[in-house]
Amino acid sequence: MFVLVVNAGSSSLKYQLFDMDTKEVMAKGLCERIGIDGKLKHQTSGNPMIIKDIPMPTHAQAVSALVESLTDKEIGCISDMSEISAVGHRVVHGGPWLTKSVLVNESVIADLEKCCDIAPLHTVPHLLGIRGCIQIMPKTPQVLVIDTAFHQTMPEYAYMYPIPYEIYEKHKIRRYGFHGTSHRYVSEKATELLGKAPEDTKIVTCHLGNGSSVAAINGGKVVDTSMGFTPLEGLIMGSRCGAVDPAIIPFLMEKEGISVSEIIVWLNRKCGFLGVSEVSSDLREVMDAIDKGNKKAKLAYDILCYQIKKYVGAYAAAMNGLDCVVFTAGIGENNHFIRYDSLSNMDYLGIKIDKDKNEHKNACEISTDNSAVKVFVIPTNEELVIATDTEEIVSKL
């Protein structure tokens, strides 16, 4: 079975075509500048990337362009669109309505439309991508795989904010958690590496990328996570602030004379590594600045390490134990300094990092042999989870 995985943003649409027999990616690409002019970057396995200017006034036209590339005699890998058995869509926020991977139908679309209210930035483009696929591939089943779904097992006391209950009910304001597909994938891999049954594991997963989140997974089920109602809460991120005292927001709006929309931009785009270091939202550039003696860059780095340490400690307490910590995503997979500095001096919890193993490029287990808590680096693969869930749902039809 061939499954197309689609991740639609406001002006871009990423895609990968999977052969589910081999779990290999046959082709992947990116439609960019949708609604502006249109650019397609397309690559079939083992071949160089092809970049083409193709008009893409709408998401449907972007889908049409990618299908043409996939079926093209020279740059494609299938002969006809009907060879695509299903499309799996990445959905960032399912709200309280969409709590697991699901086949698209009218009522599912209606539920996703409700999410526009609580997560408009992601949901509106997702709907454009889904409708674009339905328009171009009307006979192909479409499945939603939802980032908030894996976190649905959190107990009420972990997801409830201490706000008036009626406001929670009215506006559905609660902790949802994000990066669930990634936390799920790496925690399942970690369970295999631990050689234990899922119900016997206590795992903390650290997804550290431009956006970052930590999750506590007890017995295979999420019991807490650092992101909240939106992907703004929790750790310091590239340009997002993470958790701050909420009183800072009205204070700043008043002092700086800025509006709600301006403060949203400020919290999402001007804070985090970028705001503290005044260098960049990209940690590589922050690290280069640290090498040159930049103190603000070092401060941004130290904040991240300290926060990871606090979350690991807190989640070990929440689970009454810890079998392993997993690092994943751009920073977690590539930055050994962060891994070492965030988990050093935690031997009271039984965490001992092996410095040499940690610095090895393709390291997997980076804890010492006598570390009571294992520490793993596991590359995430959200697209494969989306393709696998899609295959599972569609093969039951």
Residues that bind ligand ADP (CB under 6 A): 209-211, 238, 282-284, 329-331, 334-335
User: Of 1 and 303, which has the nearer Cβ to ligand ADP?
Assistant: 303
To ligand ADP, the closest distance from the beta carbon of 190 in angstroms equals 18
Distance CA(274)–CA(216), nearest Å, equals 27
Distance CA(233)–CA(369), nearest Å, equals 35
The residue among 324, 335, 338, 327 whose CA lies nearest residue 371 is 324
* DSSP string over 6-62: EEE-SS-EEEEEEETTTTEEEEEEEEESTTTS-EEEEEETTS--EEEE---SSHHHH
Q: For 229, how many CA atoms within 13 A lie in the half-sphere containing its CB?
A: 13
User: Of 271 and 329, which has the nearer Cβ to ligand ADP?
Assistant: 329
Catalytic residue among 37, 147, 291, 302: 147
What backbone phi and psi angles, to 5 degrees, belong to 86? -165, 160
Helical residues (DSSP H) of the chain, grouped into ranges: 59-71, 106-118, 120-136, 156-159, 165-171, 180-194, 248-256, 260-269, 272-277, 283-291, 295-319, 329-334, 336-343, 355-359, 382-395
User: Of 283 and 322, which has the nearer Cβ to ligand ADP?
Assistant: 283
One-letter amino acid for residue 301 of the chain: Y
User: Of 136 and 274, which has the nearer Cβ to ligand ADP?
Assistant: 274
To ligand ADP, the closest distance from the beta carbon of 134 in angstroms equals 27
To ligand ADP, the closest distance from the beta carbon of 348 in angstroms equals 29
To ligand ADP, the closest distance from the beta carbon of 171 in angstroms equals 27
Active-site residue flag, 72: no
| Structure letter (DSSP) for residue 72 | -
To ligand ADP, the closest distance from the beta carbon of 226 in angstroms equals 14
User: Of 146 and 329, which has the nearer Cβ to ligand ADP?
Assistant: 329
Catalytic residues: 147
